[in-house]
Amino acid sequence: MKSIMFAAIGALALAAVSGAWADERAVAGARKSVKELQEDFRKLEFGMFIHYNMATYEGVQWVSGYPDPSTFDPGGRIDTDAWAEAALSAGMTYGVLTAKHVGGFCLWDSKHTTYDVMHPECPYKEDLVAQFVKSFKSRGLKVGLYYCWRHPGFDKGKNKGKFKVLPPECDPAPHSLEEQIEFQKNQIAELVEKYPDVFYIWNDALDDQIMPAAEARAFVRSLGPGILASSNWWDWGKKGTPYVDIAVKELRHFPETNTAPGETCWKLEQKWFWNEGFRSGSAKGVMSHMATAHARNSNFLLNVGPNRNGKIIESSIKTLAEIGKLWKPEVTREDPK
């Protein structure tokens, strides 16, 4: 009985703290227009993208079907503090974690699914999103979360039914597009409510085939003041086209004439998710890409893929530290062309 009472008191205390953080974000956001929030975003300039999820253990970039939750086994507690320290060493100001990728597996304790890190068969049994948020926030870094939407394009040709994207509770096969959209909206709203320090939702594959831009913007605004969202178009030809708040270019640069607030995503290793034998790219190469991105009204979001133990590979740790020694904002804003 005593343990139940203490647990209840602890839950109430946590709710009070979370509510205070949410109020703080709401007050800050209410004072600023979307344009001002976009300007604040651009001032962040340099962030860490972290691709870590079921794909890390499957040895692929896109997970098909529903791998058993027991597959997600880092062999111990993941040191998200080390992730944050690596970001700081490079001079980064924010981080974005793949909370839910193509496999549908969720790195947080979601009330909408059991297919997550708290599943009875998952050895990890800890809310990894909460860990990530705490580690980055405690070091003065802002936090964003990546969320992959299930796009109609996933069912084209030989890929029909292969990539689930959504957890089993909303398996795409028996659920309509409308039901899928509602499920995804509910999960994103849950993330924003559960983690009040999140200022940014990185939407993958959300575009006008799922909902019109005006509807998408209205949804983002409904999440509360101070929240920004980006969207990575399904159509490669439209990547970088404004849709919600932040336009995204993946592995390519915006045109020199770009005026939309943007974000360029690049990978430090060979692919987004870790695989055996991967190595880091060079600090010099990263700096060149960063300079181009910044000169074209775009932040630079550099990806790292932690290994199956949840560790960023050593060569990437070293490169990030080298970048930190080279990173001089007033220089890297100049387009090297």
Band the pLDDT of 328: cuts 50, 70, 90. confident
Indicate whether 138 belongs to any domain.
yes
Given a cut of 60, is residue 294 above it in pLDDT?
Answer: yes
What dihedral do alpha carbons 108, 99, 187, 102 form, nearest 10°? -120
What dihedral do alpha carbons 16, 20, 23, 27 form, nearest 10°? 160
Residues 197 and 282 in one domain: yes
Band the pLDDT of 337: cuts 50, 70, 90. low
Indicate whether 322 belongs to any domain.
yes
In whole angstroms, give the CA distance from residue 235 to residue 243: 13
Residues 49 and 110 in one domain: yes
Residues 112 and 19 in one domain: no
Instruction: Write out the two tokens for 3.
Output: 């343990």
Indicate whether 63 belongs to any domain.
yes
In the block, tokens 């993958």 appear at 204
- Mean pLDDT (the chain) is 91
pLDDT tens digit sequence for 157-210 = 888 889 999 999 999 999 999 999 999 999 999 999 999 999 999 999 999 999
Residues 75 and 200 in one domain: yes
User: In total, how many domains does the chain have?
Assistant: 2
Residue whose C-alpha is closest to residue 209's, from 147, 146, 149: 149
Instruction: Write out the two tokens for 133.
Output: 């948020």
Residue whose C-alpha is closest to residue 169's, from 187, 145, 151: 187
pLDDT tens digit sequence for 246-264 = 999 999 999 999 999 999 9
Residues 232 and 268 in one domain: yes
Please check whether residue 228 is in contact with residue 41, taking contact to mean a CB–CB distance below 8 angstroms: yes
Residues 56 and 189 in one domain: yes
pLDDT tens digit sequence for 26-67 = 555 567 999 999 999 999 999 999 999 999 999 999 999 999
Indicate whether 150 belongs to any domain.
yes
Crossing angle of helices 80-89/128-137, nearest 10°?
40
Indicate whether 15 belongs to any domain.
yes
pLDDT reported for residue 157: 84
Residues 4 and 69 in one domain: no
CATH of the domain at 97: 3.20.20.80
Residues 187 and 53 in one domain: yes
Residues 166 and 244 in one domain: yes
Q: What's the domain range around 142? A: 33-332
Residue whose C-alpha is closest to residue 62's, from 159, 181, 146, 170: 159
Residues 98 and 238 in one domain: yes
pLDDT reported for residue 5: 34
In whole angstroms, give the CA distance from residue 207 to residue 185: 14
pLDDT reported for residue 30: 61
Indicate whether 22 belongs to any domain.
yes
Band the pLDDT of 1: cuts 50, 70, 90. very low
Indicate whether 134 belongs to any domain.
yes
Indicate whether 337 belongs to any domain.
no
Work out whether the CA dihedral 189, 15, 95, 33 comes out positive or negative.
Answer: positive
What pTM, to 2 d.p., does this model score? 0.90
Percent of the chain with pLDDT over 70: 89
**∠ Cα 17 19 22 (to 5°):** 115
Residues 12 and 37 in one domain: no
Residues 144 and 200 in one domain: yes
In whole angstroms, give the CA distance from residue 35 to residue 26: 16
